[in-house]
Amino acid sequence: MDSLTHIALGACMGEAFAGKKLGKRAMIWGAVAQSAPDIDFLASLWMNSSSNLLAHRGFTHSLLFCLLATFFLAFLAERFHRPHNISFKKWAAFFGAVIFIHVFIDAFNNYGVGWFEPFSHWRVSFNAIYVADPFFSIWPAIACVALVVLRRSSAARKKWWRFGLSISGFYLLYCLLNKTVINTEVKDILRRQHISYTRYFTTPAPLQNWLWFVVAGNDSGYHVGYRSLLDQKKEMHFQYFPRNQYLLKPVDKQEDLRQLIRFSQQFYTVEKYQDTLVFNDLRFGQEVGWYNPRGKFAFHYYLNFPGENTLVVQRGRFAGWDATTMNAFLRRIAGE
């Protein structure tokens, strides 16, 4: 999830843990702990774009890092707040829970999380919620604001942290239910339309959880389409994108290509933009694909110009959005 959501969640968890004993300082500890795994942003200061893709949500989102960060923060907090009646074990339990919640929630996005680094490079990705979903984030944000405003002695503080954490938790379960429904429908449609595949995924389109991006295919290419929970027809219109593996022969020795293939988990295609060789990671969707089914993929990496890929994950995320495409987006969510 985005950084502000993590901060709000951590603040609510801090209030739940020790708001009565530490006041609003407990919220600060929670926000710090919830933000700790995102220290990997520092890697971008010295790594190139392809290396940074693997570093982000890598070791600092691993179970080993959770353990190390838990004891480090518990050691700091226990000594900083002396004298107090919060034991080291309680501090460790609190920080462990907050940090683990961060790496657990991030696994629900399409980027993938390296839970088992450095022992395994396999990334966990449930593809159940968009990385910035206001329907998930708004509740802890409202609760966090209320907790900042309310006095330490206010009896309403308990209601607010419960409000912020519980509704987000229920929404996450709702997203998992939506994914189950979508997967059931899409797999049946693929069977009906005689589309064979060896790789498959669904992931929410931006900012919501009702319209889903679908990819199914193999080493030859991928069928791409969109499915709304409100769609009535038992069919889908897919666009086929060949993988074009042969285009990679001139650059098959490049280190960044090896890293990109590993990062994409094999969900990639290759194409040319005029004289530029482009690597597409399909997991991040298309630029307004519900409006232009043949649109560019949001994640497109220029293999001939590696220095032009600084914001490769973000640059296509909301490219092409305007009043027309937004209206089409809302209509497509509604099942049109």
**pLDDT tens-digit map of 289-303:** 999 999 999 999 999
| Judgement on whether residues 141 and 226 belong to the same structural domain of the protein | no
| Judgement on whether residues 73 and 158 belong to the same structural domain of the protein | yes
Domain count of the chain?
Answer: 2
Domain contains 163: yes
Compute the distance between CA of residue 139 and CA of residue 230 in angstroms, rounded to an integer.
25
The pLDDT, as a whole number, for residue 207 is 96
Residues 193, 219, 116: CA angle, nearest 5 degrees? 110
The pLDDT, as a whole number, for residue 85 is 78
Domain contains 301: yes
The pLDDT, as a whole number, for residue 133 is 97
The pLDDT, as a whole number, for residue 163 is 97
Domain that holds residue 56: 3-174
Both structure tokens of 169: 């938790």
46 band by pLDDT with thresholds 50, 70 and 90: confident
pLDDT at 330 over 80: yes
In this predicted model, what pLDDT tens digit does every residue of 195-240 receive, in sequence order?
Answer: 999 999 999 999 999 999 999 999 999 999 999 999 999 999 999 9
| Judgement on whether residues 67 and 211 belong to the same structural domain of the protein | no
| Judgement on whether residues 256 and 152 belong to the same structural domain of the protein | no
Q: Of 118, 112, 76, 106, give the one whose Cα is nearest residue 94.
A: 76
In this predicted model, what pLDDT tens digit does every residue of 86-108 receive, in sequence order?
Answer: 899 999 999 999 999 999 999 99
| Judgement on whether residues 239 and 266 belong to the same structural domain of the protein | yes
With a CB cutoff of 8 Å and minimum separation 6, the contacts of 42 are none
pLDDT at 84 over 80: no
The pLDDT, as a whole number, for residue 208 is 98
pLDDT at 333 over 90: yes
Q: Kindly state the average pLDDT of the residues 311-317.
A: 91
With a CB cutoff of 8 Å and minimum separation 6, the contacts of 95 are 29, 33, 69, 70, 73, 74, 77
| Judgement on whether residues 136 and 228 belong to the same structural domain of the protein | no
Query: Number of helices (H) and strands (E), helices first, in the chain?
Result: 9, 7
Domain contains 179: no
Compute the distance between CA of residue 129 and CA of residue 126 in angstroms, rounded to an integer.
8
Domain contains 180: no
| Judgement on whether residues 212 and 151 belong to the same structural domain of the protein | no
Q: Kindly state the average pLDDT of the residues 3-13.
A: 96
Compute the distance between CA of residue 87 and CA of residue 278 in angstroms, rounded to an integer.
54
Q: Kindly state the average pLDDT of the residues 248-255.
A: 93
pLDDT at 259 over 80: yes
Domain contains 181: no
Domain contains 188: no
44 band by pLDDT with thresholds 50, 70 and 90: confident
Amino acid at 194: H
The pLDDT, as a whole number, for residue 82 is 78
With a CB cutoff of 8 Å and minimum separation 6, the contacts of 185 are 227, 231, 234
| Domain end residue (candidates: 139, 174, 209) | 174
Compute the distance between CA of residue 99 and CA of residue 112 in angstroms, rounded to an integer.
17
Give me the percent of the chain exceeding a pLDDT of 70: 100
What pairs with residue 239 in β-bridges? Answer: 224
Compute the distance between CA of residue 76 and CA of residue 233 in angstroms, rounded to an integer.
58
| Judgement on whether residues 155 and 210 belong to the same structural domain of the protein | no
Domain contains 71: yes
With a CB cutoff of 8 Å and minimum separation 6, the contacts of 317 are 206, 284, 298
| Judgement on whether residues 14 and 159 belong to the same structural domain of the protein | yes
| Judgement on whether residues 41 and 115 belong to the same structural domain of the protein | yes
Average pLDDT, the chain: 95
**What is this structure's pTM?**
0.94
| Judgement on whether residues 144 and 218 belong to the same structural domain of the protein | no
Q: Of 329, 1, 328, give the one whose Cα is nearest residue 138.
A: 1
| Judgement on whether residues 147 and 290 belong to the same structural domain of the protein | no
pLDDT at 122 over 90: yes
Domain contains 187: no
In this predicted model, what pLDDT tens digit does every residue of 14-33 receive, in sequence order?
Answer: 999 999 889 999 999 999 99
